[in-house]
Amino acid sequence: MSLTVSIAQINPIVGSFKQNFKMISDAILEAQKQNADVVLFPELVITGYPPEDLLFRQNFLRKVETMLQDLTQVAPDIAVVIGAPVTRAKRLYNMACVLKDGKIIHEYAKRHLPNYRVFDEKRYFRRGGSATDSHRPNSSIVEINGHKVGLLICEDIWRKGPAKVAKAEGAEVLLVLNASPFRSNKTKERIELLKKRSSKNQIDIVYANLVGGQDELIFDGESLIFSQKGELLLQAPSFESGLFTHTLFKQEAQKPIQPVEQHTLKNIYDALVLGVKDYVNKNGFPGVMLGLSGGIDSALTLAIAVDALGAENVEAIMMPFRYTADISKHDAAQQAKTQGVKYREIPIENIFESFVSALSAEFEGLERDVTEENIQARSRGVLLMAMSNKLGKMLLATGNKSEMAVGYATLYGDMAGGYAPLKDVFKTAVYDLARYRNEIGDGTVENPVYKEIIPDRVITRPPSAELAPDQVDEDSLPPYDILDAVLRMFIEEFQSVDDIVAQGYDAEMVERVANMVLLNEYKRRQSAPGIRITKRAFGKDRRYPITSHYRWNMT
C-alpha cells in the first residue's frame, strides 16, 4: 500500500494564532484535495519559531492547546503531523502531534534539545525520553494508512540514535519536523546528512522545513525526501512557501533526482531579501527609508529593499556635506532613478554648524578630531530618525559586518535604524553581492540580463566614509580582503592571534584587529538586529561581556 505525503513548507508569524491557523488550515485542505494520506508541517509551526520567552506565558500556551483542538476538526480524514509547544504533566515539550479522526491520536516529544549558537531550547523544554517514562511521552511510532511511521524533530535527525531507534521499533518511514535556519552552504550539509541517515538505516525520510524571516533568523525551506537507498526524491525550492506532495511505497521504482545546484551568492542575496521583506511586513511597517550616500553599503541595501518591498515602498535620502564628493551625489541619484524610488537631498551643513556652535565653549582650545566626524554622522541620524518617526517608515541601517566587528561606525549616527540587512555580511561579500545583482539585472541566475542596478563606479572606487577631506577606509583599517580574512578566523573560527599570525599575517595588525573587536562589544549591543547568514553572527550567536579587561597581547 502506498503512502502519499504532503509537505507544508509555510511561513508562520510568531504569536499570530489567527493567521497561522488560516495558513495551516489552508494547507491541510489543499493536501486533502491532492489525496494525501498525511500532511507534514515544520517544527513549532503553530506558534512560529522561535517563540522564545513567550513560552513562559501560560495564556500563550493555552492558546496553543485551543488551536490544536480546533485543527483536529479541519479535515478529520487526513492525518496531520504538526509541531507545537505542549504541556504534559506540568512539563513543557517541543512536540510533534498527530491529528486524525477529530482528535490527537499521538504525541512525540523532541529528544535532543539544541542549546548552542542561536538555539536555547533547554531554557524552555524538557527532553522526550523512553516510552516507559510517563512524564516523557515518547514512542516515535504511529500507524498511518497501514504504515508504521516514525516521528523525529529537527535536532533528533542530526544525532545517530533517534533514527536508529525508530527503525528498530519498526518504522518504515521517518517524518521529520524542522525549523532549520539558513546559513551559507547549509543545504549541502542537510543533503549529506539525510543521505547518510536514510541509507544507513534503510528507511525513507521526509524532511519538512520552515520558510520565512523571524528577526535575525531566516528559514530557507528546501524540504527534502530521501529513499531508503539514500536517493533524493524531492527537493522543495528555497525561500518559497508551498505544498509539495510525493507518494512513497509505490510498486514501481521511484526515480531519484539530482540536487538543485546551489549558487552561494544567489542564496545569500535571496536570504537578505526575504529577511527584509518579512521583518518589515510582519511588523506592520508601510515601507522603509535609508540614507543613500553614494557608497557601496547603502547602494546594496537599497537594491535589497527594492527587491523585497517594491520601489513604491522605499525612500532614499542623500545628506551631503562639504566632504561629499560630487560623484557620490551623482551615483546616488542615478541608482535612485534606475530603481524608481522616491529620492531627495537634504544638506547637513547648517545642522552640523549649529551643533559645533552650541559646543564651541565646551570645545574651546581642543583640536578637531573624530568628534566632529561623528557629529556629521549623528546629524544624518537625527534627520533620518525624524523622518522615520513622522512618516512611519522604518529606517534601514546600512553597516556591514566588517565595520560592526571593529567599531568603524558611529553610535546614533550611521548605526541608527530599526533593521540592518548587511549586519552579517563582510565588506568583501558586499562587493560580491553588488556585482551579482548587476550581473543578474532583470533576469535570473539561469538567464541573466545584465543591468547596472548599482552604478559601476560605486563598486570600483575606494570606499570612504567621507567625513574628512580625501578620506578612505584604509586610512583607519587594513585592506578589506585582509581584514575580512582575519575577522573570519577570529570571530567565526575562534582562532587565536597566534594561530592567525602563524598563517602569515602581520602580528601587530592582527593584535590590533582582535582588540578592536573586543573593545567594541558595547557598540554592537546597541546596534539594530540584522540578518544571520554565517555560522557566527553578531546577535544571538555571540554572548560576550561588554565590561571586560580581556585583551590580546602578543608579548
Per the domain annotation, does 363 fall within a domain? Answer: yes
Annotated catalytic residue within 97, 100, 107, 110? 110
**Statement to judge: residues 282 and 381 lie in one domain:** yes
Per the domain annotation, does 335 fall within a domain? Answer: yes
CB contact set of 50 (below 8 Å; sequence gap of 6+):
14, 44, 119, 120, 179, 214, 217
Per the domain annotation, does 388 fall within a domain? Answer: yes
CB contact set of 26 (below 8 Å; sequence gap of 6+):
none
**Statement to judge: residues 212 and 338 lie in one domain:** no
**Statement to judge: residues 281 and 372 lie in one domain:** yes
Please report the pLDDT score of residue 25 as a whole number: 97
379 appears as a binding residue in the annotation: no
> In whole angstroms, what separates CA 410 from the centre of its chain?
25
Annotated catalytic residue within 97, 107, 154, 222? 154
**Statement to judge: residues 197 and 303 lie in one domain:** no
Please report the pLDDT score of residue 337 as a whole number: 95
Active-site residue, 97 included: no
**What's the grid cell of residue 316?**
532614499
Domain boundary at 219, 251, 283, which?
251
Cis preceding linkage at 162, omega within 30: no
180 appears as a binding residue in the annotation: yes
**Statement to judge: residues 183 and 208 lie in one domain:** yes
pLDDT digits (tens, 9 = 90+) for 438-481: 999 988 888 888 999 999 999 998 887 767 777 787 778 899 99
What is the rounded average pLDDT of the residues 261-282? 94
365 appears as a binding residue in the annotation: no
**What's the grid cell of residue 403?**
565595520
Active-site residue, 250 included: no
Q: Can you list the pairs that 479-486 forms with residues at least 24 positions away whose Cβ atoms lie under 8 Å?
A: 480/402, 480/426, 480/427, 480/428, 481/428, 482/509, 483/402, 483/406, 483/427, 483/513, 484/402, 484/426, 484/427, 484/428, 484/429, 486/510, 486/513, 486/514
pLDDT digits (tens, 9 = 90+) for 241-263: 999 999 998 877 788 888 887 78
Domain boundary at 421, 440, 473, which?
473
Per the domain annotation, does 500 fall within a domain? Answer: no
Number of domains in the chain: 2
Per the domain annotation, does 73 fall within a domain? Answer: yes
Domain boundary at 451, 473, 495, which?
473
Per the domain annotation, does 478 fall within a domain? Answer: no
pLDDT digits (tens, 9 = 90+) for 377-423: 999 999 999 999 999 999 999 999 999 999 999 999 999 999 999 99
Per the domain annotation, does 515 fall within a domain? Answer: no
pLDDT digits (tens, 9 = 90+) for 80-124: 999 999 999 899 999 999 999 999 999 999 999 988 888 889 999
Neighbours of 492 (CB within 10 A): 15
Residue closest to 306 by CA, chosen among 287, 283, 329: 287
> In whole angstroms, what separates CA 210 from the centre of its chain?
12
Question: Looking at the predicted structure, is the pLDDT value of residue 506 above 50?
Answer: yes
pLDDT digits (tens, 9 = 90+) for 348-358: 999 999 999 99
**Statement to judge: residues 57 and 16 lie in one domain:** yes
* Buried residues in 111-130 as b, exposed as e (16+ CB within 10 A): bbbeeeebbbbeebbbbbee
**Statement to judge: residues 128 and 212 lie in one domain:** yes
Q: Please give the biggest Cα pair distance in the chain.
A: 89
Residue closest to 537 by CA, chosen among 217, 70, 246: 217
Question: Looking at the predicted structure, is the pLDDT value of residue 136 above 60?
Answer: no
**Statement to judge: residues 199 and 83 lie in one domain:** yes
Task: Tell me which residue range forms the domain holding 88.
Answer: 3-251
What is the rounded average pLDDT of the residues 317-333? 90
**Statement to judge: residues 246 and 315 lie in one domain:** no
Distance, in Å, from the CA atom of 444 to the CA atom of 197, rounded to the nearest integer, reads: 34
Residue closest to 376 by CA, chosen among 324, 301, 417: 324
What value does the mean pLDDT of the chain take? Answer: 92
CATH number at residue 87: 3.60.110.10
CATH number at residue 288: 3.40.50.620
**What's the grid cell of residue 216?**
535575525
295 appears as a binding residue in the annotation: yes
**Statement to judge: residues 283 and 430 lie in one domain:** yes
**Statement to judge: residues 302 and 227 lie in one domain:** no
Per the domain annotation, does 522 fall within a domain? Answer: no
**Statement to judge: residues 244 and 375 lie in one domain:** no
